[in-house]
């Protein structure tokens, strides 16, 4: 993966580094010559995502829950806080852990960055906009979020984390940045994580009907993971506080996405309509004017190309088991 960022980092800590996006960040940083400490509790991340990195010089793997105080063996100059359940299947299964990671976990990662004098970047999300009444969504939009709905554990955890990061910078002068990620997809996603791209690909490859929620006219804006990583590292290097949207402004309906996946996989599967989840956003599309102007960043990978790469990865890897409903791991029981 090629990355373009002008600033050189000596040691980066990536919380949630064994997750989908986090593991790609670890790889990109190592490729750029940065030593990396990957911190993950494996509640949703997977060791397989970083297995190829374990023998690389400068890579360390620390199993820890960031909702508890944690320490690394040397001070970092960059902290990328990506720890959090991020898919509906995960945050609905781990509601308290999601909220604790967004609150206590963000506080602990901020403290690590502050004491080390490091640059801190929070991975926020387009979910802070809720079911938006502004379209496309700019960073100035405050959002339309149901604070007690089923998605609120994730939405509000990220909104609180943004407030905490902003307060930390204003109170203590910590060097912080906020990136709001939109619908990233690519290799290393889990087939049963509840998001549209891996669900459709898994179903198409198995010859199962692709389950489209509602009438399928709701839209998402899909950003391939390589583009997302470039955007995150550009924001880290720039030094901007943000928030800044990192996503692809090209919208696609869920029905059209399902049909595109069927075409690209060569599947003969049909589409099956199912009930739409509560508080499922009708539209999602980033205004990336700020990222273009300040970071000189925009996505490069077209949806068809990114989906082909993702499909190839799914063909080469056996599907992950569906998450068992209910309890978090013992480490997360209170």
Closest among 84, 24, 90 to 313, alpha carbons compared: 24
CATH for the stretch 11-322: 3.40.50.720
- The rounded radius of gyration (Å) of the Cα atoms in the chain is 19
How many whole angstroms separate alpha carbon 23 and alpha carbon 266? 29
The pLDDT value given to residue 200:
97
Q: 222-239: per-residue pLDDT in tens?
A: 999 999 999 999 999 999
Helices in 68-216 by DSSP H: which ranges?
88-93, 95-100, 106-116, 152-172, 196-205
| Catalytic pick among 129, 154, 185, 224 | 154
The pLDDT value given to residue 324:
41
- The SS3 of residue 287 is coil
The pLDDT value given to residue 79:
98
The pLDDT value given to residue 4:
54
Q: Are 311 and 263 in contact (CB under 8 A)?
A: no
Check if 141 is active-site: no
| Domain ranges (residues) in the chain | 11-322
- The SS3 of residue 276 is coil
The pLDDT value given to residue 279:
82
How many whole angstroms separate alpha carbon 214 and alpha carbon 253? 11
């Amino acid at each position: 993966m090629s990355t373009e960022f002008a600033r050189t980092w000596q040691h980066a800590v990536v919380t949630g580094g064994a997750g989908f996006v986090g593991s790609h960040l670890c790889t990109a940083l190592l490729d750029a010559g940065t030593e990396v400490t990957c911190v993950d509790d494996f509640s949703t991340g997977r060791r397989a995502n970083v297995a190829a990195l374990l023998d690389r010089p400068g890579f360390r793997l620390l199993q820890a829950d960031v909702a508890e105080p944690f320490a690394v063996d040397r001070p970092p100059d960059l902290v990328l806080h990506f720890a959090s359940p991020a898919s509906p299947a995960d945050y609905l299964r781990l509601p308290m852990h999601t909220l604790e990671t967004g609150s206590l976990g963000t506080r602990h990662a901020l403290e690590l960055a502050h004491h080390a004098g490091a640059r801190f970047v929070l991975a926020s999300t387009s979910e802070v906009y809720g079911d938006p009444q502004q379209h496309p969504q700019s960073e100035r939009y405050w959002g339309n979020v149901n604070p007690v709905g089923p998605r609120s554990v994730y939405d509000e955890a990220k909104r609180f984390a943004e407030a905490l990061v902003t307060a930390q910078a204003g109170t203590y002068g910590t060097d912080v940045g906020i990136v709001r990620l939109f619908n990233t997809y690519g290799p290393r996603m889990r087939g049963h994580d509840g998001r549209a791209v891996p669900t459709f690909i898994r179903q198409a490859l198995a010859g199962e009907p692709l389950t489209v929620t509602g009438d399928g006219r709701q839209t998402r804006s899909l950003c391939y993971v390589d583009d997302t990583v470039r955007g995150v590292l550009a924001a880290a290097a720039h030094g901007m506080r943000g928030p800044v949207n990192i996503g692809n402004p090209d919208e696609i309906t869920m029905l059209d996405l399902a049909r595109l996946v069927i075409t690209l996989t060569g599947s003969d599967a049909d589409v099956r309509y199912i009930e739409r989840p509560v508080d499922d956003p009708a539209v999602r599309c980033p205004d990336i004017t700020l990222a273009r102007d300040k970071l000189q960043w925009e996505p490069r990978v077209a949806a068809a190309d990114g989906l082909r790469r993702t499909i190839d990865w799914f063909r080469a890897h056996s599907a992950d088991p569906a998450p068992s409903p209910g309890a978090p791991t013992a480490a997360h029981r209170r």
